[in-house]
Structure 1
Amino acid sequence: MERHVLGISGGRDSAALAVLMRQSRPDLALEYFFTDTGKELPEVYDFLGRLEGFLGAPIQRLNPDRDFDFWLREYNNFLPSPRTRWCTRQLKLRPFERWIRPDLDAGTTIFSYVAIRSDEPHREGLTATHPNLRVVLPLRERGIDKKGVIDLLDAAGVGLPDYYRWRSRSGCTFCFFQQKIEWVNLMREHPKAFEEAKRYEKTALDHGSPFTWSDRESLDELADPTRVEQIEREHRARLDRLKARQRPNALRPAEPVDEVLFEEDGGGCLICHK
């Protein structure tokens, strides 16, 4: 017995992988899934609907058995952080493992298709911790890079998620990997979500959490108009420096500098952001 599963994060790479597999391996009975934390951007849900229309198949929602608020209490109200990624472990990995574990233990071989591009040598697939789990990297195997991902989505008429206008990552609304300019953008695009993030942060700090959502700065401090102006000024300066360093290449159009800038910092959780 075999199963073939493909995780959709709400981002462009996993969507492009789904498009590729639908076009190149229509014979596979692929199961598409999305681990829904309940704290996703509304643009993510819109994009999932668009992708389902192309695939002609549902994307199964895997919901955690306990929500974000439960796990926040379990972790003594300490916010997740790059050093303590309990959100990924409890709200993303745990539901996936619960979904496939019975079949793995029953002897079914499960092939998990993961969206790692050919231009991401620093990334690795999810480690297969069960002998019946096989991780497959079709984008890397076929030499598909970032431009190839975008080409796949454009050609399929799926396009990109709308949040790429102002943010580089999918995943939770208040992902701690956001850059400061992205927190400013969240404040403007989704003010209610920003206020919710502030409330979580205040509760965490009141309980002694050493972490804030944004490194070494609370969202209250970040939202101060003077600070917002400074963040935007520094962001524009970085864009200008990148533009000045770009060299024209007639064989390959330069990608927008704002995309390069957003990805400069690296990091991120594979299962959330791909």
Structure 2
Amino acid sequence: MSNVRHLLGISGGKDSAALAIYLNKLYPNLEMQYYTCDTGRELQETYKLIDQLQIELNKDILQLDSIDLSNQNLESAFDYFLAQYGGLLPAQNMRWCTKKMKLDPFENWIGDVPTISYVGIRGDEDREGYISTKPNIQSIFPFRKNIWSEDVIKRVLDAKNEAQILEYYPKYLEGVKLEKAVKTFKKKLNFAFSKKQKVEALLNIDIKAFNKVVFDYLKTTELPVGQLDEFPLVENDEILVRNDIFQLIEESAVDLPGYYKPLDYEVDGEKGKYFRSRSGCFFCFYQQKIEWVWLLENHPKLFEKAKSYEKEGYSWIEGETLDDLAKPERVEAIKREHLKRKKRAYEKLYKSTDWQDAVLGEDNKRSTTSNASWLDELSDAEGDGCASCFI
């Protein structure tokens, strides 16, 4: 029996929850362990999702703590590390929060044990996500067309491994498909034919064959997947996108976190909707300004707590304090700009002046999804942030 561990981190977001449900349903014999890293500053909906998910999976979700607070006169792990950093708030170019409260606890827990980390980045997202620098941790992306991480692909496409890889292909393909795969694999990378394009071309020939070839190669390496006798995901050619994620959750006993639900607001007599686009800490610096307004108006105590962390020279938003953002005229300006941006987007997309119905999700003629605006805005926001927190 292999000593490789199969781990899936639950962030509190929709994608990691859906991935847990998906893998548990398709591969019940996979000895998956679930964990979450609690900063102590998550929204309450995060904890509710974790509780429901434990019931759905019939498995415990282990909480990994970044610091033992039993001997600390502090409310949360975040407060501890904030003090260690001298009050320096985390920011996009200084994401100590992710490292100290998410990645370090995960990697310390694993130690040197060979580990496969399953990550919920979808097939309609163009990003890589978390890849550990530790050689005993390998990331797999089951929702994507290409389930392999960038470090694995780099090895597979290395010219020195070409002959070895080409020996595997005849085991899984024949005829025209085999000829095409060999020709594609031999084609040299250049400015007109990138690594990404080459992988896409090989996957388009046959996803399962490509996966099996990669698995055969990995068996000759020290990487965790290569230490397995079999890896059932090589047989899976499904590609899951956002709508599939919502469907997986809707068909389960797990509720979509309440912060995703669009809520009404009004400015200058016009109506719009706002919501929170991500899991993670309630004061996350990746939030859009309209999300800060959402927090102010729907969780005023949490907004005040976030505001209390700001000191002279340190604010969550570059060039603006939460005290300034909370002023009534500023709140109205943010809502006004949000509506204006949505209006421009929908007039451009639909070439229509009937933009408000679209913003409110009431124009069902243009989309099979009644909340088309919400989904579009969610998509825009998902491009930013740490995968460790938001998936």
Determine the structure 1 residue equivalent to 2:318. Answer: 215
Cα shift at 1:167? 0.3
Judge conservation of contact 2:131–2:138 (CA < 8 Å) in 1. no
Matched AA of 2:248: L
Q: Distance in 2 between matches of 1:244 and 1:258?
A: 16
Judge conservation of contact 1:72–1:79 (CA < 8 Å) in 2. yes
1:177 aligns with 2:286: yes
Determine the structure 2 residue equivalent to 1:46. Answer: 48
| Mapping of residues 51-70 of structure 1, within 5 Å | 51-65=53-67, 67-70=77-80
| Mapping of residues 96-175 of structure 1, within 5 Å | 96-101=106-111, 104=112, 108-121=113-126, 123-141=127-145, 142-165=238-261, 166-175=275-284
Ranked by relative contact order (alpha carbons within 8 Å, sequence separation 6 or more), the top structure is 1
Give the share of equivalent positions with the same residue, in percent.
Answer: 44
Judge conservation of contact 1:239–1:258 (CA < 8 Å) in 2. no
Q: Distance in 2 between matches of 1:139 and 1:252?
A: 22
- The two structures have a TM-score, normalised by structure 1, of 0.89
Can you give the 5+ residue segments of structure 2 that lack an aligned partner in the other structure?
A: 69-76, 146-237, 262-274, 351-363
Change (3 A) 1:259 1:215: farther
Determine the structure 1 residue equivalent to 2:158. Answer: none
1:43-64 CA deviation, whole Å, 9 max, x = no partner? 1111111222211111111111
What root-mean-square deviation, in Å, do the aligned CA atoms of Structure 1 and Structure 2 show?
1.9
Determine the structure 1 residue equivalent to 2:83. Answer: 73
Change (3 A) 1:250 1:185: closer
Instruction: Give the secondary structure class of the aligned counterpart of 1:139.
Output: coil
Cα shift at 1:249? 8.5
Q: Distance in 2 between matches of 1:61 and 1:163?
A: 22
Pick which of 186-195 and 176-185 moved more. Answer: 186-195
Determine the structure 2 residue equivalent to 1:267. Answer: 384
Q: Distance in 2 between matches of 1:254 and 1:246?
A: 16
Cα shift at 1:258? 2.8
Identify which of 23, 27, 30 aligns with 1:28.
30
Judge conservation of contact 1:10–1:170 (CA < 8 Å) in 2. yes
Q: Distance in 1 between matches of 2:310 and 2:375?
A: 28
Change (3 A) 1:233 1:56: same
1:256 aligns with 2:372: yes
Matched AA of 1:188: E
Determine the structure 1 residue equivalent to 2:343. Answer: 240
Cα shift at 1:252? 5.2
Can you give the 5+ residue segments of structure 1 that lack an aligned partner in the other structure?
A: none
Determine the structure 1 residue equivalent to 2:161. Answer: none
1:13-32 CA deviation, whole Å, 9 max, x = no partner? 00110011010000011111
1:204-233 CA deviation, whole Å, 9 max, x = no partner? x2xx43xx2123210000000111111111
Judge conservation of contact 1:168–1:259 (CA < 8 Å) in 2. no
Q: Distance in 1 between matches of 2:57 and 2:119?
A: 17
- The two structures have a TM-score, normalised by structure 2, of 0.64
Instruction: Give the secondary structure class of the aligned counterpart of 1:140.
Output: coil
Q: How many residues align?
A: 262
Greater Rg over alpha carbons, structure: 2
Judge conservation of contact 1:10–1:48 (CA < 8 Å) in 2. yes
Q: Distance in 1 between matches of 2:330 and 2:32?
A: 48
Q: Distance in 2 between matches of 1:216 and 1:260?
A: 27
Matched AA of 1:58: D
1:90-136 CA deviation, whole Å, 9 max, x = no partner? 111111111111xx2xxx32111011111112x11322322222211
